[in-house]
Amino acid sequence: MASSFAGLDLFGSGPHRFSQLPLGEYILVNARVDPNAPGSTPIGPLELVITIRGRLVAANDEHLWTLRDDITTQLTHPPTTGTLKEIIDRSWDNMSFVNFAPGDRTDRGRGISLAYTATFIRFLTP
């Protein structure tokens, strides 16, 4: 099974990799609030943030734009939520697709490709 979000193969046209930001506790350095206050204060748990960095690969410009449009259609307000699956069968439920950052250029060679970074967050519920 390919990597997917909400059951859609959005990133399978080319190579991609998943990375996860640190987990744990959000810490506020007290000096940010009061320059004379030593130490830190735990604020609460960090949200789960996963990024996918990869390349969209297509045979022509039209197909590349179709791949981009398929991804950006999932960027909604409020954010689209679904299960994010990595190709190795690791999955994360209740992830929100919050950002798609295409690279600054389209590369042309045997195929046409575009680098990107996609960001997903599992928002904490109050």
| CATH number of the domain residue 9 falls in | 2.40.30.200
For the chain, 126 residues long, the average pLDDT of each consecutive 10-residue run is: 89 94 94 93 95 96 96 95 92 96 90 95 88
For residue 95, what are the domain limits?
4-122
Angle (CA) 48-77-22 rounded to 5° is 10
Please give the tally of structural domains in the chain: 1
3-state secondary structure of 50: strand
pTM for this model (two decimals): 0.87
Mean pLDDT taken over the chain: 93
Closest to 50 in 3D by CA, of 76, 1, 84, 79: 84
Q: Which residue type sits at 70?
A: D
Tokens of 49: 């943030």
Tokens of 117: 């970074």
pLDDT digits (tens, 9 = 90+) for 28-51: 999 999 999 999 999 999 999 999
